[in-house]
Amino acid sequence: MQIVRQSINLVDGRCLAYALFGNSLSSTAKNIIYHHGWPSSAAEGAIWGEAAAAHGICLIAVDRPGIGGSTYNPKGTFASFADDVSQLLHQLNLQQAVHGSRGLFHEMRLTTQPWAIDLSQITAPALVFQGDADVNVTVPQAKWLAGQLKNVKLQLFPGETHFSLVARHAHGILGMIKAECM
């Protein structure tokens, strides 16, 4: 599958790249912002493309800052990336969405710092999907994250790892997201 990246200009002059998978983008469609942790590229969205189309979803996969076609942000934080995505939604005229470079090392550093986001303030429905054989993000980490959110469901998948979870369960995961959050 050929990945066609598009991009927007952010207010600080940087570029944010993204690609669309599944259904066409529409202000009335079911839209999901996809971004994996680090090192995340919009190309990962292709894994979800078939399942997104089957569920009538447009998956908007974003290149993290400094990865793929997005400009590196040396002052970037988790909160500033959320602002980048907010600008993307605004420029795409969307009101809602179920949301080895310098960028990679910056993202790695961010994961070791306190998050400048109070997760308890997030009131939108959230789903956390976790393979119980994942050694990259462990079950205790997923439980910690779920414990910080107010309106959350944690779904554990027995025997699944960091990447096998998506490879084997993309259709089911998008079905759950559609049923619970859209």
Q: Are 64 and 17 in contact (CB under 8 A)?
A: no
The answer to whether 46 and 52 have CB atoms below 8 angstroms apart is: no
| 47-84 tens-digit pLDDT | 999 999 999 999 999 998 999 999 999 988 877 888 89
Using one digit for the tens of pLDDT, what is the confidence trace for 136-164?
Answer: 889 999 999 899 888 889 999 999 998 89
Q: What is the mean pLDDT of residues 106-124?
A: 64
Higher pLDDT, 119 or 56: 56
Residue 115, pLDDT > 70, answer: no
Q: Which pair of tokens denotes residue 178?
A: 């559609």
Structure token pair of residue 167? 């490879």
Tokens read off for 98? 């179920």
Calculate the average pLDDT of the chain: 84
Q: Is residue 32 scored above 90 in pLDDT? A: no
Question: Using 50, 70 and 90 to split pLDDT, how confident is the model at 17?
Answer: very high
How far apart are the C-alpha atoms of 177 and 100, rounded to whole Å?
31
Q: What is the pLDDT of residues 77-113, one digit of tens each?
A: 877 888 898 899 889 988 665 552 333 333 434 454 5
Would you call 109 exposed, middle or buried from its count of C-beta atoms within 10 A (0-12, 13-18, 19+)? exposed
Number of H helices, E strands in the chain: 5, 6
CB-neighbour burial class of residue 167 (10 A; exposed 0-12, middle 13-18, buried 19+) = exposed
Tell me: pLDDT of 167 over 50: yes
| Structural domains for the chain | 1-117 (3.40.50.1820), 119-182 (no CATH)
CA distance linking residue 69 with residue 64, whole number of Å: 9
Cα distance between residue 141 and residue 127, in whole Å: 14
